[in-house]
Each structure stands twice: as structure tokens, then as C-alpha cells.
Amino acid sequence: MALAYHNYEDLPKGLEILHLEYFEEAVNYLLDHPQVKGPGVGLLGSSKGGDLCLSMASFLKGITATVLINGSVANVGGALHYKDEILPPVGLDPNRVRLTKDGLADIVDVLNSPLEGADRKSFIPVERAESAFLFLVGQDDHNWKSEFYANEASKRLQAHGRKKPEIICYPETGHYIEPPYFPLCQASLHTLVGGPVIWGGDPRAHATAQVDAWKQLQTFFHKHLVGKS
């Protein structure tokens, strides 16, 4: 089930405020579906979808396995509401945008660290999660610091007695790790930035990573959802 969450039909146009109850409704729909084995479901999210999946696994019940492709451990973009709790968005500084020689924006340093000051409130409380986690990381991600986020999530989980997540890092691989044989998207319009940005990645290394990542996430889901290797 692919779940749209903004700028689609009657959904909010922007990301200023998101309500986790909307995502909870989707989880409950799947859990009650006769063709879903259960007792839990799996989540797969990339980029902003990754931090949403991390929030779902942290706040909601019934999540057994979660795969994040270059996701953030901080809430990004707008406030996330769930019942009486609000996760504020991590801060950013547009002055940290760099321009390439081609005039494209490199935004990798724009977001603040979720480990410092008021931005610590944006850190998603992963220690609440009962899900198993797999982080797929492109080490040449120019959208944000995905490897740093994956490692910080691992530290937080282990500090609270949770199982260490699986982290697979791919050298020379950019932000958009898509299914195998999709062409590398090195730059495109970023709707939140309002202009073209670079995503990173060497074509050969990125293509190899996409083939492996597809196998890895299927193996992970089979293990934690089906109980088979």
C-alpha cells in the first residue's frame, strides 16, 4: 500500500502540520485486511517518508519491521502531531546552501543537528519502537546526512536496551536509492527548497547499490514479517 500524505486530492498541500492519526488509520486498515498475514505490518520509507516511518514505528502499535532509505532521525519540514504530543521540525539555516559550478544547490549542510539545543526536541523517540529496523544509506547523499542519522538512531536504540538496527552503507551512492534499473537522478527540483538541488551518487556505484538494496529489503521483510530467510 503506497500512502500519499500531502499535495494529493483532498490532502493538505504542504507539510507544515501532519497528524500521525492519519497514518495510524492506514496501519489499522492493513492489520484488519483479510489478505494481510499479521500480526504486524512492515513500513518502507525514503527521504521524508523515512522519518515518517520512523515516527510511525515509534508512536504506533502493530509495526513489526521498518526499512528506511536515506531517512532522517529528526522530524523534518513541519510539526508532527499525535494525540497530545507534538514533534517540532528540526531547524535549518538557508545560508548553509552551497551552489555547484552548474548553479545547482547543495543542501547537505542546511539542517541543524538534532543533538544540540532546542533541536533535540525534533529527535524522533525511536527508543519507544518495538519494530526491527533496517537503514539503507547512500554515503554520497547530498540531501542530508543519512549515515549520521542512521548511526544516531542506532546509538539511541542501544542506549535504551533495544536491539541494534541493521545499517547497510553504500559508497558513492546518492539520496534516491530506487528499485533496480531506475536511472540515477543526480539533480532535480526540490519542492520544499523551490529550486533544483543535487542528490549525489556515481552512476555505476549507485546502480550497483540499487540492485543490492532491493535484495536486502526483501530479505529483511521476509525474515521479520514472514519468518523465513
Residue 153 corresponds to which cell in the numbers above? Answer: 538512531
In the numeric block, which cell numbers belong to residue 203? 552512476
| 74 contacts 68 by C-beta, under 8 angstroms | no
Candidates 1.10.8.60, 3.40.50.300, 3.40.50.1820, 3.30.1340.30; correct CATH number of 17-226? 3.40.50.1820
Amino acid at 179: P
Q: Under DSSP, is residue 118 helix (H, G, I), strand (E, B) or coil?
A: helix
Q: Alpha-carbon distance 31 to 141, whole Å?
A: 34
Statement: residue 38 has pLDDT above 80? yes
106-123 confidence digits (pLDDT tens): 999 999 999 999 999 999
Catalytic residue annotation: 47, 141, 175
Instruction: Give residue 193's pLDDT.
Output: 85
pLDDT digits (tens, 9 = 90+) for 172-224: 999 999 999 999 999 999 988 889 999 999 999 999 999 999 999 999 999 99
Tens of pLDDT, residues 121-140: 999 999 999 999 999 999 99
Flag whether pLDDT at 15 surpasses 70: yes
Overall average pLDDT of the 72-92 stretch: 97
Report the C-alpha gap between 27 and 111 in whole angstroms. Answer: 30
User: In the prediction, which pLDDT does 81 show?
Assistant: 98
| pLDDT confidence bin for 229, thresholds 50/70/90 | low
Report which secondary-structure segment, H or E, holds 29. helix 20-31
pLDDT in tens, 85-106: 999 999 999 999 999 999 999 9
% pLDDT > 90, the chain: 93
